[in-house]
Structure 1
Amino acid sequence: MKRVLIWAASACAVLFGTAEFVHATHRHAGGQAGQAHAQRQTLPTKSLTEQLQDDHRDMGVPPVDARTDRVWHAIPGLCGWRLDVAESERATRMATDGKRHLVWRLVPPRVRLSMLPADPIYRGPETEKSVALMVNVSWGEEYIPAMLSAFKRANVKATFFIDGKWASAHPDLLRKIAADGHAIGSHGSGHPDFRKLSAAALARQVDGTNDVIARMIGRRPRLIAPPAGSYDDRLVNMAHERGMYTILWTVDTVDWRRPPAQMIVDRVKRGMAPGALILMHPTQSTVEALPQILHMLSVAGFHTKTVEDVVDERPAMMPPSILSPVPTV
């Protein structure tokens, strides 16, 4: 079915400061919600309004608040879905296909990630069966085209954390990554140990790398992944002051050591869990492992999202928005 998205804002982060937005799509998500719908079709005795109210009870999703965890630090929340019964009834009565047309409103959490104190992020919320794939890039440009092809075949968007020096040397490849729809974050410049830098040098790493990337793709990164995961509170606070988030990982493939591809697949298999951030690098082993990883995640029922989606608390999946038939009274 064709998919129609009606957004009152371009991103959940912008939306939350104003109002909820309407999301209507012509894709049926199936699952337990669809099963509940199928069971009710055997008793088509309720009014349309009552049936829509049942749809909300069956398929509506409550939002999840962001929180600070003593182990995982800042854990983003997740938007929920609420059925707009009045708009759904109007859309259904206007339609000529005899089906129920459901209009969903995205509901923000009461506690947003942006409300929490500055803290690094190691994972997304556990309440959604999704993962985010991360690629730290300071080298390995020869392997990136193959990775992009694998992502494209699987219809997956990843998050590439880009080294500023690498970006200056490979501007066309960076633009290709961005043009393919992947999220872009900062990985500093030159792969230094951020903990050993002076405050001024650290600020140059953050701001200078952002400047380089912005010149290449026309927007400044909102995410920074410290090289080798080395950071301290200075980086976390500096990023927070600039509206950025410090990103670490849940699952490390350790692919930079160039192990056999199957070892990378096995590491992802052991660590994949709802909310996991999975770290990779551009290597030959990763290129060989990536199609298997993407297939494995899909078969296991995981959705994928970018780290920008994670910090913006955008859900990776949506309730169904066309159901049939319309009940008779």
Structure 2
Amino acid sequence: MIALLRRAGLVCALGAALAACGTAQPQRRTPPAPVSAPPPAPPTLAPGPAGLTPVFEHGPRSRGRTVALTFDADMTAGQGARAAAGERFDHPQLISTLRALRVPATVFMTGRWAEEYPDQARSIGRDPRFEVANHSYSHYAYTRDCYGLPTVPRKLMRSDVERAYAAFRKAGVRAPMPYFRFPGGCYDRRALRALTPTGVTAVQWDVVGGDAFETDADVVVRQVLDGVRPGSVVVLHCTRSAAPATERAVRAIVPALRGRGFRFVKVSELIGTVGGRR
């Protein structure tokens, strides 16, 4: 009798399970998350004559009162000992001032600088107000007789640029820009040809801030304000030891230019306004 009851219980349980399966609602599949489109590629200029690396100096003069402040973060391969002894090639106060004033800017950084100050490089590179561009690995010149700088051999110019980008990636810089500034601003056809395979646009300037080794901020302010025109690219520096007056100058330059109706932009925006390709 007990065996029959157990068998009946099993049959009932089995029947109930089958009935439940027959009435269960079908499981809803969660739709896959939408795939976000990759960010648009930054604008670059088409290659110049004979396929040479293109050179950009300033934006349009007739498309609004825009100006790009650019800052060179210089450090050479041989300055590590000086940094270890206390010399400061960074300038965090300048970056803080740009943030406080809500000024977008382009920082042309050497790979050696990014290696020495990786936390700052990463912070600048991940701040949407800024963009990081290439200033070579160790600030060696790409031509002879360039302000006494050591010279990069032509066969090593491309790898020097690529080494800087590798240093940016290692520091955590997101999406460094395909823009390159020649150390000292010195270049020739040989240098432009050597960098063609990298796909960069060389970025120069039309306003020299004159802040290198200048201790009087007023001198820098006057030079910038006298030179800026619509579409200008201003070159300044982001190194405390070599440009001690820059942060004070920026605090005066920014409100003065805004008072004249200028809007601050990054280099990428200026290049985009001249038909830069993506």
Show the 5 A alignment for 1:161-200.
161-181=108-128, 182-195=130-143, 196-200=151-155
Match of 2:46 in 1: 114
Equivalent residues in 2 for 1:133-144, closer than 5 Å: 133-139=69-75, 141=88, 144=91
Q: Which residue number corresponds to residue 99 of structure 2?
A: 152
Cα distance in 1, alignment partners of residues 274 and 264 from structure 2: 12
Tell me if structure 2 keeps the 8 A contact 1:143–1:284: no
Partner of 1:20: none
Within the candidate set 252, 255, 266, 2:208 is matched to: 252
Compared CA separation, residues 239 and 313, structure 1 to 2 (3 A): farther
Q: 1:36 maps to what in 2?
A: none
Which residue is equivalent to 2:67?
A: 131
Inter-CA distance 264–154: structure 2 relative to 1 (3 Å threshold):
same
Q: Percent identity?
A: 23
- Which amino acid is 1:192 matched to? Y
| Structure 1 residue 300, shift from structure 2 partner | 0.7
In structure 1, the residue corresponding to 2:56 is in which secondary structure?
coil
| Gapped regions of structure 2 (runs ≥ 5) | 1-36, 76-86, 144-150
- How many angstroms apart in 1 are the aligned matches of 2:188 and 2:194? 10
2:18 corresponds to which residue?
none
* Distance (whole Å) between structure 2 residues aligned to residue 233 and residue 314 of structure 1: 23
Distance 1:189 1:309, change over 3 A: same
Query: How far apart are 1:12 and its partner, in Å?
Result: 7.8
Corresponding residue of 1:211: 166
Give 2:34's aligned residue.
none
Say yes or no: does 1:293 pair with 2:253.
yes
Aligned runs of 1:64-75 on 2, under 5 Å?
Answer: none
Match of 2:236 among 280, 283, 304: 280
1:263 maps to amino acid: V
Trace 1:29-108 onto structure 2 (pairs within 5 A). none
Please name the residue that 2:30 is paired with. none
Return the alpha-carbon distance in structure 1 between the equivalents of residues 169 and 271 of structure 2.
20
AA of the residue aligned to 1:236? L
Letter in 1 for 2:249: A
Whichever residue aligns with residue 114 of structure 1, its letter is A
Q: Write the deviation string for residues 280-302 of structure 1: whole angstroms up to 9, x where unpaired.
A: 01332001111111111111100
Any conservation in 1 of the 2:47–2:54 contact (CA below 8 Å)? no
Task: Please tell me whether the aligned partners of residues 60 and 274 of structure 2 are also in contact (alpha carbons under 8 angstroms).
Answer: no
Counterparts of 1:234 and 1:150, CA distance in 2 = 39
How many residues were matched structurally? Answer: 211
Deviation digits for residues 32-52 of structure 1 (CA, Å, limit 9, x no counterpart):
xxxxxxxxxxxxxxxxxxxxx
Q: 1:314 & 1:115 partners in 2: Cα distance?
A: 14
SS at match of 1:265: helix
Alpha-carbon deviation of 1:278? 0.3
Mapping 1:214-225, distance limit 5 Å: 214-216=169-171, 217-225=173-181
Q: Which one scores higher on RCO, CA 8 angstroms, separation ≥ 6?
A: 2
Deviations 1:108-130, CA, capped at 9 Å, x for gaps? xxxxx437544311111112210
3-state SS of the aligned residue for 2:91? helix
Q: After superposing the two structures, state which structure 1 stretch, 260-269 or 171-180, moved more.
A: 171-180
Cα distance in 1 for partners of 2:256, 2:237 equals 19
> Contact (CA 8 Å) 1:123, 1:276: kept in 2 or not?
yes
Flag the 1:313–1:174 CA change in 2: closer, same or farther, 3 A. same
- In the TM superposition, 1:12-27 aligns within 5 A as none
TM-score (norm 1): 0.59
**Is contact 2:46–2:54 with CA below 8 Å preserved after alignment?**
no
Contact persistence 1:213–1:221 (CA under 8 A): no
Q: Quickly say closer, same or farther: Cα 1:258–1:115, change in 2 above 3 A.
A: closer
Q: Which has the larger radius of gyration?
A: 2
Taking structure 2 as the reference length, the TM-score comes to 0.69
- CA drift of 1:252 comes to 0.8
Q: Is the 8 A contact 1:135 1:280 kept in 2?
A: yes
